[in-house]
């Protein structure tokens, strides 16, 4: 099996532009056949992308495959959690009911990444409150072609507009219930897993940019160092305080590096440079939530007034 670090430095740059999500997914699948670990597939998929939005696609899909390893390899999958009140567990009102062995979903997800492009949906739903009043969640799998699934496209986002989003309405939809707790085993860890894989894919894409624009070896070296740091995160323990501390450090280091490499973008072709300027905010998505997780992680390992955050 290839070394992903050697791959990033030596793999020929794909010249053909990517016209849509389907083309980006096809190229991603080629990269997926080269590597076994999802984070390496995300890196290689990001390297094959011709823009940050399609690199995000690679990271997002490999994050889902880390969360649910037996997902079909050739199908685009979307996690559906966010509702009108947000993505907090208490805001999830979509219901999962069971009657004589038949599972049914009812509710509306207001923001589903990939929208109509997804083949399967991982839907987080409520089965009611526990004794303490907390919302009990389960994760379910739904084929988007199932009766009762209605997908409404949303307007393109300001950054990475190539990636579609949609509102998904579920009316008595048949679903398969996944094992485990919907929050502890799916929604909560996915936030960290997604951060890791999207950052990896973005770094893979930045290596492509650096090579195409013939950036100095020192820049490539710094990018590969960041790649190694992200690959080294213990993604098998996404709830670990140490993972959140290290991930916070990785985002900080990458942010500093990108600022210091800003002057090199003058050598990048104008279309790529303009898309980068437009799409760069993608890397800051969920930054506030990530900061909260980091602060919580520090409190758990260094309790007391003298903790460092």
Q: What are phi and psi of 201, to 5 degrees?
A: -65, -40
- Looking at residue 80, what is its pLDDT? 97
Q: How far apart are CA 223 and CA 182, in angstroms?
A: 36
pTM here is: 0.95
- Looking at residue 1, what is its pLDDT? 56
Q: Which phi-psi region, left, alpha or beta, contains residue 259 (left: φ > 0; alpha: ψ -120 to 50)?
A: alpha
Among residues 133, 135, 132, the alpha carbon closest in space to that of 182 is found at 135
CA 11 distance to own-chain centroid: 24
Among residues 221, 104, 85, 231, the alpha carbon closest in space to that of 170 is found at 104
- Looking at residue 120, what is its pLDDT? 97
Among residues 287, 278, 276, the alpha carbon closest in space to that of 251 is found at 287
Q: Which phi-psi region, left, alpha or beta, contains residue 95 (left: φ > 0; alpha: ψ -120 to 50)?
A: beta
- Looking at residue 289, what is its pLDDT? 87
- 3-class secondary structure, 67: helix
Sign of the torsion formed by the C-alpha atoms of 274, 40, 73 and 94: negative
pLDDT by residue, tens only, the chain of 309 residues: 579 999 999 999 987 899 999 999 999 999 889 999 999 999 999 999 999 999 999 999 999 999 999 999 899 999 999 999 998 999 999 999 988 888 999 999 999 999 889 999 999 999 999 989 899 999 999 999 999 999 999 999 999 999 999 999 999 999 999 999 999 999 999 999 999 999 999 999 999 999 999 999 999 999 999 999 999 998 888 999 999 999 999 999 999 999 999 999 999 999 999 999 999 999 988 788 899 999 999 999 987 655 554
254: which residues sit within 8 A by CB, 6+ positions away?
Answer: 199, 203, 226, 283
Domains of the chain: residue spans and CATH:
4-67+187-301 (no CATH), 77-177 (2.40.110.10)
Q: How far apart are CA 204 and CA 225, in angstroms?
A: 12
Using a 10 angstrom Cβ sphere, with 0-12 exposed, 13-18 middle and 19 or more buried, the burial of residue 196 is: buried
End-to-end alpha carbon distance in the chain: 40
């Amino acid at each position: 099996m290839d070394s992903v670090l050697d791959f990033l430095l030596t793999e020929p740059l794909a010249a053909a532009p990517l016209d849509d999500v389907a083309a980006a997914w096809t190229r991603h699948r080629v990269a997926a056949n080269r590597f076994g670990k999802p984070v390496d597939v995300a890196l290689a998929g990001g390297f094959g992308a011709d823009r940050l939005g399609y690199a995000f696609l690679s990271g997002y899909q490999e994050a889902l495959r880390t969360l649910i390893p037996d997902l079909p390899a050739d199908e685009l999958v979307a996690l559906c959690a966010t509702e009108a009140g947000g993505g907090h567990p208490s805001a999830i009102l979509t219901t999962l009911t069971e009657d004589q062995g038949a599972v049914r979903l009812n509710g509306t997800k207001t923001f589903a990444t990939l929208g109509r492009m997804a083949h399967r949906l991982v839907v987080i739903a409520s089965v009611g409150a526990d004794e303490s009043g907390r919302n009990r969640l389960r994760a379910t799998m739904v084929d988007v072609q199932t009766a009762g699934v209605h997908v409404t496209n949303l307007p393109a986002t300001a950054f990475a507009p190539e990636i579609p989003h949609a509102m998904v309405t579920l009316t008595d939809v048949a679903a398969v219930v996944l094992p485990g707790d919907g929050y502890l085993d799916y929604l909560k860890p996915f936030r960290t897993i997604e951060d890791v894989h999207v950052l990896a894919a973005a770094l893979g894409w930045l290596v492509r940019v650096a090579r195409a624009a013939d950036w100095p070896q020192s820049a490539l070296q710094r990018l590969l160092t960041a790649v190694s740091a992200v690959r080294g995160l213990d993604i098998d323990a996404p709830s670990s305080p140490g993972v959140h501390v290290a991930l916070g450090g990785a985002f900080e280091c990458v942010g500093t590096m990108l600022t210091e490499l800003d002057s090199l973008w003058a050598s990048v072709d104008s279309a790529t440079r303009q898309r980068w300027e437009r799409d760069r905010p993608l890397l800051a998505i969920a930054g506030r939530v990530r900061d909260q997780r980091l602060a919580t992680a520090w409190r758990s390992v260094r309790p007391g007034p003298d903790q460092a955050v």
